[in-house]
Structure 1
Amino acid sequence: MFQATENKISKNIMVSLVRIVINYVKYFFLTGSVFFSLAVLMFVVLNKNPDFSFEFMKYFSFIDPAYKTGNFVINLGDVMNIFLILSLVMMLVINFLKMLMKKIFSFSLYFSTRTKFTVLFTIITLAYVIAVIFITQNDSLDKGLYFIFAIFYVLNLIFMVLYLLMEKVMNYFNKI
């Protein structure tokens, strides 16, 4: 009896450790995808409007008080902190809406990995198509940006696919 309980505890500990490692790797890939998506987004925004104001950053002044002043330097860690906060808020809103739909309408919302892939692939591709359109319309931009964005696009898709793959693996471990 004691041996069976001990084996079950050991199994649960091992599964929990594997889940932690898988989540770490999964979010590493998500970070890569976010970085490349943000790079193309910033390129598009700054080429569309060179006088773009980063005034919205004042709402994130709890991360760095310098964001209130408008004179700040932002690095990848700051970008990921902002992404974390925005993701948390979106997750809370989406989970609230899911709960509301389930309670009021008895409707459960589930997105398959294929659906997630299709939506993310479409959004990422659209962002890069818009960036390429800006390159073709602006003669002052170096045409070498085509090559850079092609590399960014491929890396972004690889990171997205690996993230979704890790999510699928995580779903398998959640069933154990």
Structure 2
Amino acid sequence: MFDEAILRQAAALLGSYQARGWRLATAESCTGGLVAGALTEIAGSSAVVERGFVTYSNEAKSALLRVPAPLIAEFGAVSEPVARKMAEGALNNSLADVAVAVTGIAGPGGGSAVKPVGLVHFACARKDGPTQHIERRFGEIGRTPIRLAALKQALDLLEQALHHEP
């Protein structure tokens, strides 16, 4: 289902989290659960993966992750403030130590001049540190390649969380 590089990265990530006694959660929109799927493809992942939220709609972001509807209305679902609130919401509504969030425009439609297809916002929240944010503009490379690139970036962000000091 996932290529070998993703599976190796996921396995290494899970091993590092387990060694620290950390659990993680995912909050996904445009990836539709790919991040959680890649992690749970690894046997023994239940020791680390606490839960995953697939919040594709704005209503789901508000109901499950407590992202304020006025924030979504002001900045749009694909924005830094919403990605940050998604990650923080996943952290606060789980037993996880770290949560990663992904929200973007995978296309082929839905883009604009300001928010083109391929724009993806990522955030990673830790119980003991500040929420990190990354914006990527993958371009119009196709829906599946955008989603797979977002998966890779989310795993990278979870890896970086291991190295940030509070």
TM-score, normalising length: structure 2: 0.27
Structure with higher RCO (Cα < 8 A, 6+ apart):
1
**Looking at CA atoms only, which structure, 1 or 2, has the larger radius of gyration?**
1
The structure whose residues are more often strand, as a share, is: 2
The structure whose residues are more often helix, as a share, is: 1
TM-score, normalising length: structure 1: 0.25
